[in-house]
Structure 1
Amino acid sequence: MTADDRLFTFHPRSVAIMAAVMGFSLIALFGVIWVQFDDVTTASFTLFQRLTLLAFFGGILWILYRMATVRVSAYADRIRIRNVFKSYTLPWTEVTALRFTSGDAWLQLFDAEDNRIGVLAVQASEGRRASTAAKELAAVARAHGAGVKRTPEN
């Protein structure tokens, strides 16, 4: 799977900018706080406490990274969705509908089993850019076999 195989890709700019600003702010804020501690205070932290703080901030930074890298990519044979905590890859034949109506926070994908998957990359906070992306993705989906209801075989 290479970038050359992609027919369509979209990721929200506003979320990436927000996550980057929050990540850098978090690092700067707690870096300044740590530097401002006197030697007695910093020496009072045990190794376990220091590792716990690092794990906590590492977890927050990982979540911000995942938020910054949500995306949806379409290929000739499949769609790839990367959300914050989970990624999905579905063949077009399993996609029955894409919906992005007024009032929706993000694009909704429905699969053959009528499961709803939120496509967090295409979200209302992106405004017209997201609406255009949803229409382009729907056109790619239709052109590659999505939305075709399969009937049970006898």
Structure 2
Amino acid sequence: MPAAQPPLPPSGPKLSEFLCFALYSASHAFNRLYKPLLDELGLTYPQYLVMVTLWERDDRTVGEIGEQLFLESNTLTPLLKRMEAAGLVSRSRDPADERQVRLRLTGEGRALLDKARSVPPCVLEATGLTAQQARELTDQIGALRTTLSR
């Protein structure tokens, strides 16, 4: 029977000290939190984000939505096709520029907003943060993303 190996000495930071892991694991926790809330709406998290952008301002190009969500069109297109098939959005070529695809809410997509209004307060409550603390943390993470993207 081989002798037990002694534990390796610490050679670097612990996993709990990695900022990237804290963000990664928090993202997973958010996914678990959002899933039952969005299941009630019949949406996945990426679909919910698309709907939020359209509820903010309807009639956008796929490129605009992709830019805002940091998603490439090859990721966004299948998602949007499923949303169109579900009757939430309509897609059409921009008459001014046929290369652009415009996305608009349908009546069903607009109506879903009433049900979706309960999601942000539920999420905020689950974080244990005040609205001000959540805004400050969101701003800090956004600034970090901007810095890392440079």
TM-score of the aligned structures, taking structure 2 as reference length = 0.25
Higher relative CO (CA 8 A, sep ≥ 6), structure 1 or 2?
1
* Higher normalized strand content (fraction of residues): 1
TM-score of the aligned structures, taking structure 1 as reference length = 0.25
